[in-house]
Each structure stands twice: as structure tokens, then as C-alpha cells.
A and B are shown apart, each in its own frame.
Chain A
Amino acid sequence: MTAVLACTGLARTFGALRAVDGVDLALPAGARHALIGPNGAGKSTLFQLLTGGLRPSAGRVCLDGRDVTRMSDARRARLGVGQTFQHSSLFLSMTAADNVALAAERTGGRPWSPVPRRNPALARRVDQLLGDVDLLGRRGVPVSSLSHGECRQLEVAVALATAPRVLLLDEPAAGLSPAETARLAALIQRLPADITLLFVEHDLDLVFRLATRVTVLHLGKVLLSGTPDEVRDSAEVQEAYLGTGRRADLFLPPDPVADPAPDPAAARDPATGPA
């Protein structure tokens, strides 16, 4: 099965610094893939190489098996790559609804039309997207008056408005309160299953809750790529984050409530249990 988004030998140097150094990644359709690593590991650079914001020094990026390495960010977005930014990147003079409408207009409207017209279908879609991120009540509020948490939620709505097939979220929970983080996690869990998701996140609880696969980046290289459990148990990952001298546990033991053991009731289910 071909990966929806893949890169091979991807590298980017800034002078003598190898920010990203030969990274291989392959995301199958519907993946929930997290990218973690200490500060300066090259996560954001890798993101920009994947979305087209930066050109790689070496390596290839493929979308549905098609080489997109030489394509601009706008071309890749038109092929279905959506993204949110580490620092909220919105249209500050506009309202929340206008921000989403601008994104929705690109795929579902006529952004080049020089004649004003009503587009009820577009307006409904904007309202639905704002509802999805719990911002419907703030639709007419200028972005400059939204809180930080609301801006992060709006970021996601704007990215979803172009109906991407691959969604890259750069630290979506940065600076959010626990309640806001919980809402964001629920939103991400509600995403359609066919959207392929890659996200960078420092909140490791969130990572282990949402991701089915985790890649650890360290000094521009892939340290480990595996299931959340493999990453949790890796001594190498501990070392990269905390250094060799430290013995403290990086990851708290799995919370029995948040991460329930297999339900014994499921084993007795006639559909799955022995006949």
C-alpha cells in the first residue's frame, strides 16, 4: 500500500547546522502520527519541508506516490495538504467567520470572482466548521479580539475548511489550558477517519492519547519510530530528552482510567468471541 505522505532521505542544512538529516517517514491513509522530540530536534523544519514552506537540501517528498519535492507550498495545498502553524497564523483584520470563509472559498467558491454574490452553501459550511471547533458563538468577532485558545481552535477550522486529505498540525495545544486541550483532543478524535494526520506536540499525554504511531526526532535524525508503547519504554528516548545522568521517569505510568485495559465484556461478545 502506498503511503499518502512519505519522505525519503529528507535533509535540510542551515550553514553548518543539519537541522533535518536524512529523515524517512511514511504515513498510510488515515494515520494518526505524532512527531516528538526535544527542542531543536528539527520538528518544525521537517514540517516546513513536508508542506513546501522550505526546500530540502536533499531527499524527496512524495504525496500519493507522486514526487512533490519541487512543488511550491500552494501547489501542495491544492493537492490536499493542510496545515496549522506553531504560532497562530490568521487574518487579523477579519472576523472568525471571514477567516474560515477565505479558506473555504478556495475549494468551494470562486475566490477570483470580481462580483459580489451570496453563497449560502459556503456560509453553511463556515458555520458548520465554526461549530465543530465550538466557535459558532464567536463568528462575528474580529480575530484580534479572540483569546489565544480560541485562535488555536480557529487555526484548526481554517485548515479543515480547505478539506485536506493530509493535515499537519504544528503544536496545536501550545499554550492551551487543560480544559482547552481536552476540547482540542476531542476535536482531533472526531476528525474523519480518512484524513491522514501528522502532528508535532510537546504535551506527551496528548500524544499518547491521540497517536497510533510516534516518531521521535533527535538532532535532525529519526531516533525511533514505533507504537506509543514502544516509545514509552525506550531507554534511548529517555536519554535524548533527559540526558544519561537523569533517572527520573519521563513518562508517567499509564493512567488506568485514561488507558483502560481490554474490557472483559468484549471477550464475551458473540461477534468476536469463540463460537
Chain B
Amino acid sequence: MTTPARRRLAAVATLAVLAVLAAVPLVLGSYASTTLARILAFALLASSLDLLVGITGLPSLGHAAYAGAGAYAAGWVAIHATRSAPLTLVAAVAAGALVAVVAGSVAVRARGVFFLMLTLAIGEIVEQLAQSWHSVTGGSDGLYSIPATELAGISLGDVRGFTWFVLGVFVAAMAVLHRLVASPLGATLRGIRDNEARMRALGYRTYHYKLAAFVIAGAFAGLAGGLLAAQQRLVTPADLGFATSGPVLLAVIIGGEATPWGPCLGAAIVVVLRDVLGPSLGGHGSLVLGAVFVAVVFLLPGGLARIRNRLHAGGTHR
């Protein structure tokens, strides 16, 4: 298939999926809509992590810290200042980016397993901070009774409007992320993933680029956290720690790192297995999730989004 034809097909498919998602609040009940909003926020978080894991080659195990910082910031602004949506989300993005600047300037100096362990440690430190900074975070109780988000003076208290709002933010953020991946900066980050030593030999100051990737990923994670805070109306320290970071990395790997929609697909699977099917499985959702993870790693290395390549590899040409 020629490239323009393929691009047109991809655009049509994307629009069709978006239309179906937009119809969910109209057709299905509020439980399905709430789940969709959760999935979309989690998908944005997974896509932001993929910028590090898949594109730049930095496997972070503490990505929830930046989403959590964004969630606390959005929640705090909604309780103490304004519940107007652009402002709460701007605060969330700023908080995620700010924590990422501090953490990244340390973490990005390491690579491989050391980077993984550093990000994990930083995530736990941020969680501890949230536990002990009682006056701002509410300590182990968390931030609760976060008021419903408002957009242009209209309260998004009902599920339908709120789900569309999350869908809108998700689409806008994903559009920006996709352009970034296709940009010269995206190519530079892929170069660092493939061969950092060669990039340095070509004159690229890789530290700056890796830090930039870390901060951008942190900002988008903060945005996802802001959406989660608005949806849950509650933020607890557990949202910042490994209990959240682990599943996000799982979502990226199950869905397919460095693929346009793989992390979103993985996020949907993780949320459905853990939150929707989990209760009916007697709390064994994580067990099923683990089994799915093992199965994907063995049967579809590269993730579900690459299933077409696997099928084609066994078939005719290419």
C-alpha cells in the first residue's frame, strides 16, 4: 500500500474510534463512561511514559510520581483557588514538569538498570513527601472532596459532560505528543535510544536532550494526573508510588512501546482487567494482568500493537 493511502486509512480509523468513544456517554451508562474517563487519563499517562521508554530508551519505574504531583496540584488548586478547568490542568502540568526537572537532572545521568532503580527510588521519595507534607497534601488521608471541574463557567458535575471533557483533553494532548514524536526532536531522542555514544560523537549533548524528554514526559504525566484527580475527586499518596508506576510501565509494554497507539491499548487492558474485571474475579485482577503480561512478552514481544507485523512476518512478502 502506498504511504498516502495508508495515512488516509489511519486517519479514517482514528476518527472512527474517536466517534465511538464520543458516543459511549450517550449509549452506555454512567459506569461505562466513568471507566472510559479513567482509561483515557491512564492512556495519556502511559503515552507520556512511552516518550521515555519507547522513544528515548529510558525505562522509568517511577512515572506515577509526576502524575501524582499533577493530581495533587490540580486538586489543591480546585479546593483552595479555582475549579476552572484550564487553570487546574495548567497547575497539574506545571507541577509534573517541575518535579520532573528536579528528579530528571539526577536520574538522567544514569542509564539502564541504574536509571530504572533511581526513578523507582525517586518515586518512593515523592510518595513519602506526600505522606508527610500534611498541610498541603492531607497526609495519608490524601486530598478529598475535590470539587467538580468547571469549564467556561459550566460545571462538569455530570458524567456525560465530564467524559467528553476528558476525551477532548486526551485528543489534544495525544495530537501534540504525536507531532513531537514525528519532529526533529523525536528523531534526536530515537537516535539517543539507538546509540547514545554515536550521538555524542556527532556532537549532540545527550544529557540536555534526555532531560528535555524527561521533563516533557513529566508535564504530560502531570496533565494525566490532573484529569485523574478531577475524575476521582480524591488524591492519595498511593497514586504516586509503585502501585501506580508498575501498571503504567506494564501498559506500555503490553500495548507496544514506540507505537502510536500501543500504550493506549495497553492502558485500556490494564484498567479493564484491574478495575472492571478485578472485583468479579475475587480481587485476582492483578493475577490475570500478570498472566497477560507474561503471555504478551513471550508471544508478541514488541506488544499487541505490533501483532500485524507478526502476522505478516509469517505470511508472504514483508
Contacts and interface: CB of A to CB of B under 8 A. Distances in A.
Interface of A: 51, 53, 72-74, 77-78, 82-83, 85, 89-94, 98, 101-103, 105-107, 109-117, 158, 162
A109 B184 contact: yes
29 contacts: A53-B201, A74-B206, A78-B203, A82-B201, A83-B201, A85-B201, A89-B201, A91-B191, A92-B194, A92-B195, A93-B193, A94-B194, A102-B199, A102-B202, A106-B202, A109-B184, A111-B185, A111-B187, A112-B184, A112-B209, A114-B179, A114-B183, A114-B185, A115-B179, A116-B182, A116-B184, A158-B198, A158-B202, A162-B202
Interface in B169-220: 179-180, 182-188, 190-191, 193-195, 197-206, 209, 212, 216
A158 B183 CA distance: 20
A73 B200 contact: yes
A115 B183 contact: yes
B180 A114 contact: yes
Contacts of A92: 194-195
Contacts of A115: 179, 183
A102 B187 contact: yes
Given A77-B203, A106-B203, A106-B204, A89 B198 contact: yes
A220 B9 CA distance: 61
B190 to A, nearest CB: 7
Given A112-B184, A116-B183, 13 more contacts: A53-B201, A74-B200, A85-B201, A89-B198, A90-B194, A93-B194, A106-B203, A106-B204, A111-B184, A112-B188, A112-B209, A113-B184, A114-B179
Contacts of B205: 74
Contact of B202 (A103, A109, A114): A103
A91 B188 contact: no
A158 to B, nearest CB: 7
A72 B200 contact: yes
Contacts of A103: 202
A90 B199 CA distance: 9
Nearest to A161: B202
Nearest to A92: B194
B190 A111 contact: no
Contacts, number: 89
A102 B191 contact: yes
Interface of B: 179-180, 182-188, 190-191, 193-195, 197-206, 209, 212, 216
Given A90-B195, A102-B191, A114-B179, A73 B201 contact: yes
Contact of A101 (B187, B194, B209): B187
B194 A91 contact: yes
B185 A112 contact: yes
B305 to A, nearest CB: 16
Contacts of A110: 184
B183 A102 contact: no
Name the residue in B183, B195, B200, B203 with the highest tally of chain A Cβ atoms < 10 Å from its Cβ: B203
Name the residue in A83, A106, A162 with the highest tally of chain B Cβ atoms < 10 Å from its Cβ: A106
Given A51-B201, A92-B195, A112-B209, A102 B188 contact: yes
A106 B191 CA distance: 12
A162 B194 contact: no
A98 B187 contact: yes
A240 B198 CA distance: 33
B191 A112 contact: no
6 shortest interchain CB distances as A-B pairs: A77-B203, A91-B194, A78-B203, A116-B182, A111-B188, A74-B200
A105 B190 contact: no
B203 A116 contact: no
A158 B194 CA distance: 15
Contacts of B182: 116
B179 A116 contact: yes
A75 B32 CA distance: 54
Name the residue in A72, A101, A116, A117 with the highest tally of chain B Cβ atoms < 10 Å from its Cβ: A116
Contacts of B201: 51, 53, 73-74, 77, 82-83, 85, 89
Contact of B187 (A105, A158, A162): A105
A82 B190 CA distance: 21
A111 B194 contact: no
Contact of B195 (A77, A89, A98): A89
A85 B201 CA distance: 10
Contacts of B190: 91, 93-94
Given A51-B201, A72-B200, A73-B200, A105 B184 contact: yes
A72 B205 CA distance: 9
Nearest to A83: B201
Nearest to A111: B188
Given A91-B195, A93-B194, A77 B202 contact: yes
A77 B198 contact: no
Contacts of A158: 198, 202
B183 A113 contact: yes
Nearest to B187: A102
Contacts of B204: 74, 106, 111
Nearest to B203: A77
Given A74-B204, A112-B185, A90 B198 contact: yes
Contacts of A53: 197, 201
Contact of A77 (B185, B194, B200): B200
Contacts of A116: 179, 182-184
Given A111-B184, A115-B179, A116-B179, A89 B191 contact: no
